[in-house]
Structure 1
Amino acid sequence: MDEGQLDTAEVVAEFERYLRFERDLSPHTVRAYLSDVAALIDHLDGRLEGMDIGALREWLAEQHAEGKARATLARRTACARTFTAYCHRRGWLPDDPGLLLGSAKAPRPLPAVLDQEQAQAALDVPMTGEPKELRDQAILELLYATGVRVSELCALDVDDVDRDRHVIRVMGKGRQERSVPFGLPALRALDRWCVHGRPLWIRTGSGAALFLGVRGGRIDAGTVRRVVHARLRQVEGMPDMGPHGLRHTAATHLLEGGADLRSVQELLGHASLNTTQIYTHVSIERLRAAYRQAHPRA
């Protein structure tokens, strides 16, 4: 590709292949990055040759003036740095202006979590033994027991469950495999589903999927989210949250129970310990609340 006549559509297509196959980013992240790159190129009137640190800062400043959220600005800053670095490596930019771009940090609000009594109440709902109830109970028990991501849960196959060792084999972000332990309640719920529920829903296209939809296909993330929201609505006074809320809850309860941060990082599949540390903040806030309530001189 001639440097003086860059075809931006071809550049974006190459960048997309890089994100998908070399960086192995999730489809959601790829879509977000491509949207950001399209907005950046539009700001440059469709020409990469004008991409320098001044243009990047002007692009971000305009969005800040429009009232874009800090999280959006942080993502677009990261995208711009990734894009300029890629273009520079490919020889499409003489230097990498993204190196001079500061990192916008998004605020990290404390995640909402259930306390241990609420988690117990959500899992101890009476059941009639219908296949859907058995599946939903197994999903909830496993999400809370392991803290896996909803995408990881949906991708589980029957053979990914090691009942003897009480672990599941999970393929996480970046195709990193890890083993995550679970306890007896989750094991019992899985056994009930696999023995009394799943066989009734198996169809030709079911394959080895552990959790199935009502038509026999592999369950999807939207269905799992509906399952979690519906269960929490069954319990009076329960906060509304989805599968990620149960992930936050599992991590917080592990730390409150004495697990060390490195172990929780490994269980959750976090690449960085900094990501896991947010759960220590949750635990500290709970500790402070308990102190204020219980200590006579608080």
Structure 2
Amino acid sequence: MPEKIEPSAVLNEYISYIRLEKNYSSRTISEYENDIKEFYVFLSQEGLADLSSVEYSEARLYVTTLYDKGLSRMTISRKISSIRSLYKFCNARFGIDDNAFRLLYHPKKEQRLPAFFYEEELAALFSVGDGCSPKSLRNQALLELLYATGIRVSELVAISLRDIDNALGIVKVMGKGSKERYIPFGSFAMEALESYLAVGRPSLMKNKNHQNVFVNLRGDPITARGVRHVLNGMMEEAAIHRKIHPHMLRHSFATHMLSNGADMRTVQELLGHSQLSSTQVYTHITKEHLRKTYMNTHPRA
């Protein structure tokens, strides 16, 4: 790498590249930037002048420091990917040897299965609220749409009025990498949305003027944190004593679809997964659930 190009300048060029050419999401860009800045601190502490000074032994040492911090294997694997991507960029742009991190193995991920709701738990969730107040209508529509479509919370909060075709039962969402996809939803979500859009949302808007479908009690677009607050409140009301995160509804959608006979390619497309391997994890959930049910109920298990 030419001496005039400082590591900070390399980082700036790389961030511009993944933002403009790779079209990564703002969250992914932030994670990459933080991972690389952390790596730069390591370079400084080890007295390494620039990226071209790093050899395989230093790359291994860096991974060791990550383990020493008590980070999970998944986090360490992501950090390796971030730096490997940076070196691949530098190899193409500046001719830097990228062997140090290209040859580095990824730590094996823990086999941690996604948490999901059982159908009886969801039935309890769907039964909370009076079903009449604007807040209750919103909460019901929000819950129904998350479970009916398996969309991410970031996708939910970005949905605008023009993205929903309630007559056809289809919603358009903008997924990772600015990829659009159209997802069908059923009669329960359709009915909940109709009631919310006709009665609940107009009441909550309080003369605000925007197109976001889901709003908070002040009429502003609801945030991902606001969705978590809504779901936690519904969990308490339903007396379900579990920790919840909104992604559990996405996990539940996928798990229940596969359990009831949906093919994996269809579920992959509905979830917006670019790799089938991301969807396959849900087959492990359904198999584990079947095994536990068998062991708990069969007389000679």
Go from structure 1 to structure 2 and tell me whether the alpha carbon gap of 1:47 and 1:137 turns closer, same or farther (over 3 Å shift). Answer: same
Question: Which secondary structure does the structure 2 equivalent of 1:107 belong to?
Answer: coil
Cross-structure match for 1:246? 249
User: Which segment drifts farther, 166-175 or 95-104?
Assistant: 95-104
Q: Match of 2:204, as an amino acid? A: W
Structure 1 residue 281 and structure 2 residue 284: aligned? yes
Identity across the alignment (%): 37
User: Which segment drifts farther, 236-245 or 271-280?
Assistant: 236-245
How far is 1:201 from its partner? 2.9
Q: Match of 1:22, as an amino acid? A: E
Aligned equivalents of 1:167 and 1:221: distance in 2?
A: 22
Cross-structure match for 2:2? 3
Q: Is the 8 A contact 1:88 1:96 kept in 2?
A: no
Q: Is the 8 A contact 1:154 1:220 kept in 2?
A: yes
The within-5 A match list for 1:31-180 is 31-45=30-44, 47-91=50-94, 93-127=96-130, 129-180=132-183
Question: Which secondary structure does the structure 1 equivalent of 2:193 belong to?
Answer: helix
Structure 1 residue 28 and structure 2 residue 56: aligned? no
Go from structure 1 to structure 2 and tell me whether the alpha carbon gap of 1:205 and 1:235 turns closer, same or farther (over 3 Å shift). Answer: closer
Cα distance per residue 1:117-154 (max 9 Å; x no partner): 11111011241522111111110010011110000001
How far is 1:234 from its partner? 1.2
TM-score by length of 2: 0.93
Q: Is the 8 A contact 2:131 2:140 kept in 1?
A: no
Q: Which runs of 4+ in 1 moved over 4 A?
A: none
How far is 1:74 from its partner? 0.7
Question: Which secondary structure does the structure 2 equivalent of 1:11 belong to?
Answer: helix
Q: Match of 1:73, as an amino acid? A: I
How far is 1:99 from its partner? 1.9
The within-5 A match list for 1:226-245 is 226-245=229-248
Q: Is the 8 A contact 2:273 2:279 kept in 1?
A: yes
Go from structure 1 to structure 2 and tell me whether the alpha carbon gap of 1:189 and 1:138 turns closer, same or farther (over 3 Å shift). Answer: same
Aligned equivalents of 1:297 and 1:288: distance in 2?
A: 13
Aligned equivalents of 1:181 and 1:284: distance in 2?
A: 26
Q: Match of 1:252, as an amino acid? A: T
Q: CA RMSD in A?
A: 1.7
Go from structure 1 to structure 2 and tell me whether the alpha carbon gap of 1:247 and 1:30 turns closer, same or farther (over 3 Å shift). Answer: same
Q: Is the 8 A contact 1:144 1:249 kept in 2?
A: yes
User: Unaligned 5+ residue runs, structure 1?
Assistant: none
Aligned equivalents of 1:167 and 1:149: distance in 2?
A: 16
TM-score by length of 1: 0.94
User: Unaligned 5+ residue runs, structure 2?
Assistant: none
Aligned equivalents of 1:170 and 1:211: distance in 2?
A: 14
How far is 1:204 from its partner? 6.1
Report the count of equivalent residues. Answer: 297
Question: Which secondary structure does the structure 2 equivalent of 1:4 belong to?
Answer: coil
How far is 1:15 from its partner? 1.4
How far is 1:84 from its partner? 0.5
